[in-house]
């Protein structure tokens, strides 16, 4: 990408990368820094569209502000109220610790698109 005399970026670029996030225990986790470490090229863009997809059946994505860590606690509290442990769920072949995960995904998503303007 090159800059014109008015400072407008010309040209375009794209890339695709498959990354692995470290396994984490149940909960709502901030993964921004982990993603940036594995895709440092993101920092070179001033405008762009970032698409991320998670390929796991008991994990999902949510885009939100990260200034206040209480937001993650509130999200987890609400998900636990919407999908409580201990109900007679039929899905139990993966053990009691994974029975609520597929249901909690209904309240988030497996992919997300973020449009960035600097």
- Per-residue pLDDT reduced to its tens digit, 39-77: 998 888 888 888 999 988 788 888 888 889 899 999 999
Domain region containing 73: 14-117
- Per-residue pLDDT reduced to its tens digit, 8-44: 555 678 888 999 999 998 889 999 999 999 999 888 8
Q: How many C-beta atoms surround the C-beta of residue 100 within 10 A?
A: 21
- Which pLDDT does position 83 carry in this prediction? 92
| Domain-embedded: residue 3 | no
| Domain-embedded: residue 9 | no
- Which pLDDT does position 20 carry in this prediction? 94
pTM: 0.75
| Domain-embedded: residue 73 | yes
Q: What is the token pair recorded at 87?
A: 């109900």
| Domain-embedded: residue 5 | no
| Domain-embedded: residue 70 | yes
Q: What is the token pair recorded at 76?
A: 């987890």
Our count of domains for the chain comes to 1
| Domain-embedded: residue 2 | no
Of the candidates 108, 83, 53, 62, the one whose C-alpha atom is nearest the C-alpha of residue 91 is: 83
Domain holding 103: CATH number?
2.60.120.460
């Amino acid at each position: 990408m090159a800059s014109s005399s008015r400072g407008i970026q010309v040209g375009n670029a794209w890339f695709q990368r498959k990354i692995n996030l470290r396994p984490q225990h149940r909960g709502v986790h901030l993964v921004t820094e982990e993603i940036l470490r594995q895709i440092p090229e993101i920092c070179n863009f001033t405008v762009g569209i970032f698409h991320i997809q998670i390929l796991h059946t008991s994990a999902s994505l949510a885009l939100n502000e990260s200034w206040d860590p209480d937001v993650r606690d509130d999200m987890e509290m609400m998900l636990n109220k919407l999908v409580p442990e201990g109900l007679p769920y039929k899905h139990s072949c993966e053990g009691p610790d994974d029975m609520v995960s597929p249901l909690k995904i209904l309240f988030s998503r497996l992919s997300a698109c973020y449009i960035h303007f600097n």
